[in-house]
Structure 1
Amino acid sequence: MDGLFAPIPSNPLIDFTILLLVTLILPPIFERLKLPGLVGLLFAGIVLGKSGLGILDQDSESIKLFTDIGKIYLMFVAGLEIDMVDFRRTRNRSLLYGCLTFAIPLLTGLAVGQLFGYSLNASVLMGSLFASHTLLGYPIVQRLGIVRNQAVMVTIGATIFTDIAALLVLAICISIHSGSFSPAGLVVQLVAIAGYSALVLVGFDWAGKEYFRRTGDEQSNQFLFVLLAVFLASVGSELINVDKIVGAFLAGLAVNDVLGKGPVKEKVEFLGTTLFIPFFFIGIGLLLDLPAFMVTLTTLFPLVVAIVGGLIISKGVAAILAQLKLGYTWAEGLTMWSLSIPQVAATLAAAVAGYQAINASGDRLVSETVLNTIIVLMLITSIIGPLMTAKFATKIPPPNSLSNLEDDSALPGENGEITLVPPKASTFTVLVPTQNPQTLSYLLEMGALIARHESGVVIP
């Protein structure tokens, strides 16, 4: 097999062409098999990577660039899709769910680490790996037109809290391992994050409004301004020792009001969802080392089961508690669970950082065994997360509008249901028949796409 593909030179142009070809062909094939197209991209990464044909090298600069851009774009679009009026109303709910989906997995990971004989510091770091999550299922809820569903918005908002908190725990654990931890350093880090968040949210919003006001209808320059904002925010977040995805999410929130629902926003989202975000999922598949994966599964099966099972169960408990507290339906609660399961971006970054942290005695904070297990966790959760999202999210009807409601306290009723205000007569409305369960999900997706383009609503 190596001889067959040896004549193919390795350069960015060929890598880009292969990524385009895979993105075009595989997702429709997997969707015909009743699987999310994202799973097809992950599968393509495994086949094309070092464990398969070896056509693409995950360590090449071009692949790293495409993957990083896709990861940044994923979080940026997630922030861009949030209606800021609704988000401000649900910020307390996002904080509540963020605390639950951070604390419960953290304690579970700590217990697993202690059970298998790891040090307290390593066990806490393992718990922090459980606590974060990556919104791999976001493209699915976006396609279904339910991003503005309150439960989905709360889950998206909770992501920023879990990732920042997990990365803070990582920084503390590494500094303790190296013997350089100090409470003053932690305070400085917290102040830096707070100041940077305010700078991006306020500064980028002001700069965007001024630039758009001065440029008028120059969509090309406005498009470039938005791209500059997201990557500038990502670089800035790394300068204060926070993962780039945090800056990208903040940039999405910052330029949200500036873009509105105009053509520039459509172009920005189109570029990401069509091109760079699929590249990110292919890059995840490239990371898998099948031989190490099989060795880890066979020799460390109890640890793998404890880590994977502990993560899934703890995330489920957090989602159910939030659902019961906030009065959501079971479909919404299960969707919150499925969105919080995938462990990719922040988890992998933290695991690698812990593996590379070596103290004066030559001991690693995260052993190679744990690193391989985390890669297994990443693979399993990145597959079952989108699958579960595709299953549960289709049962949530697209909301009419949360902005019709007076305040955050009035959103759920005493019986746990949300009363939706009927659309006005002038509202663009798509009626979807629900009698045939075999066509329901497809019709809802089609109706959501049409309604979203016209800023309308879907009525099942």
Structure 2
Amino acid sequence: MALESLVNSPIIAFTILLAVILTVPPIFERLRLPGLVGLLVAGVILGENGLKLLNSESETINLLSEIGKIYLMFVAGLEIDLEQFRRTRNRSIGFGILTFIVPLIFGIIAGRLFNFSWNTSLLIGSLLASHTLLAYPIVSRLGVVTNEAVTVTIGATIFTDTGALLVLAICVGIHGGDFSALSLATLLGGLAIYSAVVLFGFDWAGKQFFRRSGDEQSNQFLFILLALFLASVGAQVIGVEKIVGAFLAGLAVNDVLGRSPVKEKVEFIGSALFIPCFFIDMGLLIDIPAFLKTLSSIWLTVVIVIALIGSKFIAAFIAKLLYRYNNAELLTMWSLSLPQVAATLAAALVAYQTVNPAGERLINEGVLNSVIVLMLVTSIMGPVITARSATLLQVSEADLAADKLTTWWESSEEELLEKHAENFTIIVPIYNPQTQRYLIEMAALLARHESGKIVPLAITKAHIQMDDPQLVLALEENKKRLNLAKEISQEFNVEVLPVIRIDDDAALGISRTSREQNANLVVMGWSRTTGLRARLFGSVIDSVFWSSHCPVAVTRLLSSPATIQRIMVPVGDLTKQTIGAVRFAQILADVNQAEVVLLHVSDRKTPPQLVDRFTAQLSEIVDKGQLQVNTHIQTIKGDDIARVIIHEAQKFDLAVLRSVRYRTAGGLAVSHVTTQVIRELKCSIVLLGEPNS
């Protein structure tokens, strides 16, 4: 009786869910398995076939799982880069049609082989037709996102996911009975009108609301959530499954959110809570005896997996012939379109839960279990192949175009002419007297090199009453800090313009001041804000990275920047951001007559000719710079990139790193390599972030 009350208690169930979400995924990731797999396994163990601690029929699980399901599709819409899609629209549509139609046909054939109805077979085909960009972080890390084959595959996601959800809506309608040509036409017409209202109406309303709400992130966050649930409810009203509305809502607010901090918060809430609840619920639905029975008659699972892998390869091969891509691009397109997670699992669950008047499900347990196996196989297989094939891709010429300027933060001769009449300006937010000297020294060295000025900035927390004694005291303290900053700056003979700002938000105060001063660079000290609060609301550094109009250099300096003699720059790709880090290191080295070492860590299985080509391209970039700085390129082979960087950094005074964030199927993640390196490095660090990074 006590156990039954535990199962039925919403608070107990929610507590168990939180404990699972917090502990299980990291354990599976250490085993080199996707964290989502761990959530499925946890659902099986805690469900009816295991400890019976969670009940899939409970209102708590149902609510959180439903929200997670529509959130998963919403994030899938948000993650699609519309700008990239527009650049290669025609080819993206072409590959989208191929990688949708071919798997659809294979899925229908597979369904008919096992005597499923035409409607169920069509649904199985649609499950194979979509794909999840699970390996996007890999191509991002390798710096090959701008390769046309990658861009085309990313753009094709819009077509495959939309098409798969459309087929789902039709199949669900047919399975419900009383479905005729007239009702089909009515459904498609309603869906077309509804899609137009969501895509254009929500986009317009979102832009209007964001423009009027200014920096009120909480209201903007609530607006996005309201848009998500309104679109989901609207889909149900017209007789379409709600995940269709969620996906369209994600596409609709994609441009509205851009790269704003609100987008990270929206995705974080989903990836930290609701989406994991959906995967746990999927585990609760797995009937172990039925699952084992499915695997004992393994042919259905084998045929579905082979049909998916083979059809996606055929689609990529046809695209290769049509667009004249090479083998590396073929394999990358194939592997990127392999993983079946977001749309596939959400649609499979909807189909499994769809029951007609006769009590028959649209797909049975065998198909559902086969789809789960398909998810496991492709979510491992796809990224592994991508990691190998993407290293062979040609880097876009646009990303290899080396900056001819001595400064890394200016990207064109036109910008240089526009700014010629203005002093180069560096904003230096100051707060901690113990680290203030080194921070000001770093900014002064850079400003002196560029014949510019520095603006020491002290942010004072606003109070309701401007004559509040605490505010007066804080202003006096900041004046003392600014006077000290001025004294330090004058040692380097640079122009100083101290500024005090009263603001409610320190990060926005920094960004607003840098915009008002038309700054070229922000040099900040290290923020120690960590943990759940930083993940939920972001640290000051995160917020400045998001909101700043210019590059940001975050420093953790253990000694005076004037004494730095050896600088290390880990180089993993050849993007403009990496080139920017190299330029920054060269400028600092030029000031101190120091040495720069560019460290490239490659996988042990990387062919030597590829490493040689990368080194040659990097050497060309270094040679094109106008600064005559002692710069060396060092290549090391190793499986643990972070460990190699940490070991090599022991020989250096400073490491210059990039802030890298990746979009994933479950939300946003920070580069694991960068995170580990920052935590364990014993030398001084400069972490560079581009605007809106």
Give the 5 Å matches for 1:6-405: 6=4, 8-132=6-130, 135=132, 137=134, 149-171=150-172, 173-174=174-175, 178=177, 180-298=178-296, 300-326=297-323, 327=325, 329-340=329-340, 343-353=344-354, 356-358=355-357, 364=360, 366=362, 371-395=364-388
CA deviation after TM superposition for structure 1 residue 73, in Å? 1.8
Aligned length: 427
1:98–1:161 CA contact under 8 A, matched in 2: no
Distance in 2 between the 1:116 and 1:31 partners? 36
Contact 1:107 1:127 in 2 (8 A): yes
Q: Which amino acid in the other structure matches residue 689 of structure 2?
A: E
Q: CA deviation at 1:6?
A: 4.8
- Normalized per residue, which structure has more helix? 1
* Structure 2 residue identity aligned to 1:166: V
Q: Distance in 2 between matches of 1:317 and 1:437?
A: 34
9 and 376 in structure 1: CA distance in 2 versus 1, 3 angstrom threshold: closer
Relative to 1, partners in 2 of residues 1:126 and 1:254: Cα closer, same or farther, differing over 3 Å? closer
TM-score by length of 2: 0.55
Q: Which structure 1 residue ranges, 5 or more long, are not aligned?
A: 399-414
Distance 1:117 1:208, change over 3 A: closer
Counterpart residue identity of residue 373, structure 1:
G
Tell me, yes or no, if structure 1 residue 433 matches structure 2 residue 604: no
- Residues 348 and 368 in structure 2, CA contact (< 8 A), matched pair in contact too: no
Query: Does the CA contact (< 8 Å) of 1:312 and 1:341 recur in 2?
Result: no
**For the pair shown, which has the larger CA radius of gyration, 1 or 2?**
2
- 1:403 corresponding residue in structure 2: none
Amino acid aligned to 1:454: G
Change (3 A) 1:250 1:26: same
Alpha carbons of structure 1 residues 433 and 122: separation in structure 2 relative to 1, 3 Å: closer
Alpha-carbon RMSD across the aligned residues, in angstroms, is 3.7
Say whether the 8 Å CA contact 2:304–2:374 is kept in structure 1.
no
Partner SS state of residue 374, structure 1: helix
Q: Which runs of 5+ in 2 are unaligned?
A: 410-575, 582-597, 603-635, 646-656, 662-669, 675-686
Find the aligned partners of 1:41 and 1:188 in 2 and give their Cα distance. Answer: 40
Mapped to 2, the partners of 1:365 and 1:57 lie a distance apart of 21
8 A Cα contact 1:131 1:166, kept in partner: no
Partner of 1:421: 399
State the alpha-carbon separation in 2 of the partners of residues 222 and 141 from structure 1: 31
Contact 1:132 1:166 in 2 (8 A): no
**Larger strand fraction of residues:** 2
Shift in Å, 1:106? 2.7
TM-score, length-scaled by structure 1:
0.80
Overall identity of the aligned pairs, in %? 43
Question: In the superposition, relative to structure 1, how do residues 315 and 65 fare at CA in structure 2: closer, same or farther (>3 Å)?
Answer: farther
1:92 positional shift: 3.3
How many Å separate the matches in 2 of 1:242 and 1:303? 29
1:36 to 1:303, Cα distance in 2 relative to 1, 3 A = closer
Conserved 8 A contact 1:129-1:166: no
Distance 2:235 2:283 in 1: 26
Task: Please give the alpha-carbon distance, in whole angstroms, between the structure 2 residues aligned to 1:163 and 1:330.
Answer: 23
Aligned to 2:689: 454
Matched residue, 1:401:
none
TM-aligned CA distance change 1:279 to 1:323, over 3 Å: farther
Q: Which amino acid aligns with 1:263?
A: P
1:55-81 deviations in Å (ceiling 9; x for gaps): 111122211221222222222223223
SS in 2 for 1:51: coil
